Amino acid sequence: MSSTNKSKQDTQNSRSGQAGKNAKGGVAHALLLTIGGLLLAGLVIGGLLLTYALVVMTPQLPPLDAITDYRPKVPLRIYTADHVLIGEFGEERRSLVKLDDIPADMKNAVLAIEDARFYQHGGIDVIGILRAGLTDLMHGGASQGASTITMQVARNVFLSSEKTYTRKIYEILLAYKIETALSKDQILEVYMNQIYLGQRSFGFAAAARTYFGKDLKDITLAQAAMLAGLPKAPSAYNPVVNPKRARIRQEYILKRMLDLKFISQEQYDHAMAEDIQVKTKGNNYSVHAEYAIEMVRQMLYAQFKEDTYTRGLSVTTTLNAADQQAAYDAVRKGVMDYDRRHGYRGPEATIELPAAGDERDQAIEDALADKPDNDDILPAVVLSADSKQVQVMLRNDSAVTISGEGLRLAASALSSKAGKNLRIQRGSVIRVINTAKGWQITQLPQVEATMVSLTPQTGAIRSLIGGFDFNQNKFNHVTQAWRQPGSAFKPFIYSAALEKGFGPASIVNDAPVSYPGAPGQGNWEPKDDDQPDGPMPLRTGLQRSKNLISIRLLDAIGVKYAQEFVTSHFGFDVDKTPPYLPLALGAGQVTPLQLAGAYAVLANGGYRVNPYLIAQVTDSRRAVLTKVEPQIAGQNATRVLDARNSFIMTSLLQSVAQRGTGAGTNVLHRTDLAGKTGTTNDAFDGWFAGYQNSLVAVAWMGYDQPKSLGSREFGAQLALPIWVEYMGRALRGVPQYQMPMPDGVTTINNEFYFDNMTPGNGFIASLGLGAGNGAPVEIGPDGMPVPTPETSPQEDEKQNILKLFGGH
């Protein structure tokens, strides 16, 4: 190439390169101008938005009174006398707690997942907002938030939850306003109490009780992390409804806490390994008092209507927490023992169970969805079964193997000869329980039982269990079940007889008797559970619960008199206490609470006290709205029974408890217990009512739709074990007490008499012995009358001749 051409080429290349550079420079310049324009536009728009926010939106911001003077809807709360929370009612479950009372693990778990820089920013996390805004643009809409805890407070207290840019601006403005009015700790405290966490629970204290049945101060790190996962989506991460998703989020939060150095590796490992037991439908409190708190709710609603659930009423009941739990445990044990005596009834259902895998797990979850736990009685689906071993899957996806003693109740259902409805097989839905002896197959009982106790000097109810399980059956048998008391009513007939001249030493003939029946009917010939034993003292008659003696006694004193006496002295309803002879056998109707009140008259020396459950009601400011001033025996209560009568009846009932049908009380090794068993016709009802000077208690067992409890079942087997189990715990540490003998009582031959009704002076010595002359009868050491010596016919004739001539 010539030098001239080369020079031209270089010149062209130089121009071309310069043109390229000019072109690139133009593009860059245009890009810079575009970006600059966008930034300028953004600044202008931002400025306009800021101006709009400051000029238009800021004046429309609501005042902060709702959080500076924080008074959310607070539910009705119910406590025992020793201030244990046993229940609450309200649209919003909420327990207000101070920040200092919230465990550090709970606060750190929330900060880790919701706002790790909470104490560093001024209410708005700018980096978070930019990140969320970019994500929103990429997804073409508002899909992700960047709310700080302060912004969440603003939204939850003042705004809706809709995802719009306008609401977000209001949220930001409110957040700044809140940050200027409150400290960080105050904001966090409002958040921890205000945030919705599912199951009608607002705030972490309420959620801790709802999901774990614990006070917030008692939760573990693992539980705190699970609760901290709820604010984002309470329904999605609800450990009751979605346990698997709740667990995944909990693990993520624990990892965040570890990364932020809120917890150590050791704490992390321990929390990850913890098996969290979540409360399902059932009791959320440490003490079971569901029937009692429902009674309280109804009484409060009658007075305060809808305000009952929002104005923060606090009710102190008369219940004692330890006594209440003891009564609950006693009823559960008594019912379960009875149920085991009467055999296994078969599985609750049977499902088609797929092979192991997700499909099987879903089938099990569906099968158990409508089978709530009954305290420690858990539903399960059988994975495999034979006569030696049964494997089941529980609600929490854990498999349990049952063998040996645990199969005893259901042994017949595991036999190859078991009927279709009885047989336990793969897919059967059954109940299991974990006892001290390991897992066992059990079942939900069908029978009901109750326990109620009260302080006889005041009527304060110490414990009240209205049935086996409130969630299964809400009918309160303590107050609503009118049942025949059977022989548990006999002491009141005896008490009436004492005022007519009878006494413990009166001899009554335990012999067959016949009474005219109603027109057109045959004679009434009452029977006893055993053979008649002839004449015996009243003390022995009550001790052995002799029906024929009670009937003779009622006939002697008169049914009208007896009806008036037991209703006016012991508080029984006239219309439920019919004036006819079967009343001696408990043919009237009583409730367990009414019967307890009647026995209290005997226990406290003869005073009528009114059973009561509510001691005090205060409002949210702790102002006292109502306070009960109880009637107290010996002070302001009305005397309805002679102290002599109360003393002698207590002596008689102590004989029953020590040597009679209530001798099962002797396992408590006390001599100050008095009481009476009761069993109605065909064993429809089983009772034991009794007392110690400081405590009256009544136990009952029966079916809602009355039917026989079994031909071999009596009050001593049905109700007495419940009573003994309860009193053994309730009287632990209570010293023995013997009622002092009042004035007007005298002792003759080691037996008690009214001093104005002694042998030969108004005392009725015998009844139903034929002669009816009231002559004294000698009592042997066994408590039975000593037979009178028979005279010969010649001696009888001699005595008759002497009488004709005035001889003696």
Does the pLDDT of residue 800 top 60, yes or no?
no
CA distance 777 to 781: 13
Question: Of residues 88, 95, 114, 448, which has the active-site annotation?
Answer: 114
Does the pLDDT of residue 130 top 80, yes or no?
no
User: In this predicted structure, which of 145-149, 220-224, 718-722 has the lowest mean pLDDT?
Assistant: 145-149
Per-residue pLDDT averaged across 618-629, rounded? 93
pLDDT in tens, 258-300: 999 999 999 999 999 998 888 765 556 789 999 999 999 999 9
Question: Of residues 147, 314, 453, 487, which has the active-site annotation?
Answer: 487
Cα–Cα nearest to 369, from 479, 281, 248, 256: 281
Residue 200 token pair: 């009608």
Q: Residue 214 is which amino acid? A: K
Average pLDDT, the chain: 86
Predicted confidence at residue 529, as pLDDT, reads 79
Element (H, E) at 79: strand 76-79
Per-residue pLDDT averaged across 636-659, rounded? 98
Does the pLDDT of residue 55 top 50, yes or no?
no
Predicted confidence at residue 783, as pLDDT, reads 44
pLDDT in tens, 734-749: 999 999 999 999 999 9
Residue 644 half-sphere exposure, CB side, CA atoms within 13 Å? 19
Whether 114 sits among the annotated catalytic residues: the reply is yes
User: With pLDDT > 90 as the criterion, what percentage of the chain qualifies?
Assistant: 63
Q: Residue 92 is which amino acid? A: E
- Answer for the pair 275, 55: CB distance below 8 angstroms, yes or no: no
- The more confidently predicted of residues 547 and 121 is 547
Q: How confident is the model at residue 40 (pLDDT cuts 50, 70, 90)?
A: low
How many C-beta atoms surround the C-beta of residue 121 within 10 A? 18
- Rounded to 5 degrees, φ, ψ at 116 are -65, -25
- Dihedral sign, Cα of residue 282, residue 283, residue 288, residue 290: negative
User: In this predicted structure, which of 67-76, 155-164, 502-511, 571-580 has the lowest mean pLDDT?
Assistant: 155-164
Predicted confidence at residue 154, as pLDDT, reads 79
Residue 292 half-sphere exposure, CB side, CA atoms within 13 Å? 37
Does the pLDDT of residue 232 top 60, yes or no?
yes
pLDDT in tens, 81-91: 999 999 888 77
- Answer for the pair 656, 666: CB distance below 8 angstroms, yes or no: no
Does the pLDDT of residue 806 top 50, yes or no?
no
- The more confidently predicted of residues 218 and 62 is 218
User: With pLDDT > 70 as the criterion, what percentage of the chain qualifies?
Assistant: 82
Does the pLDDT of residue 138 top 70, yes or no?
no
Predicted confidence at residue 463, as pLDDT, reads 98
Q: Residue 221 is which amino acid? A: L
- The more confidently predicted of residues 264 and 28 is 264
Inter-axis angle of helices 104-114 and 243-259, nearest 10: 90
CA distance 642 to 29: 113
Whether 95 sits among the annotated catalytic residues: the reply is no
Residue 758 token pair: 């002694």
Q: How confident is the model at residue 699 (pLDDT cuts 50, 70, 90)?
A: very high
Out of 472-476, 531-535, 720-724, the most confident range is 720-724
CA distance 762 to 774: 10
Predicted confidence at residue 413, as pLDDT, reads 95
Does the pLDDT of residue 92 top 80, yes or no?
no
**pTM of the complete model:** 0.77
Predicted confidence at residue 200, as pLDDT, reads 78
Q: How confident is the model at residue 713 (pLDDT cuts 50, 70, 90)?
A: very high
Cα–Cα nearest to 540, from 494, 580, 500: 494
Cα–Cα nearest to 166, from 41, 42, 56, 39: 56
Per-residue pLDDT averaged across 398-421, rounded? 92
- Answer for the pair 611, 597: CB distance below 8 angstroms, yes or no: yes
Q: How confident is the model at residue 67 (pLDDT cuts 50, 70, 90)?
A: low
User: In this predicted structure, which of 301-315, 497-511, 675-689 has the lowest mean pLDDT?
Assistant: 301-315
- Dihedral sign, Cα of residue 224, residue 228, residue 234, residue 235: negative
Per-residue pLDDT averaged across 525-537, rounded? 90
- The more confidently predicted of residues 279 and 528 is 528
- Rounded to 5 degrees, φ, ψ at 655 are -65, -40
- Rounded to 5 degrees, φ, ψ at 345 are -100, -5
Predicted confidence at residue 11, as pLDDT, reads 53
**Residues composing the chain:** 808
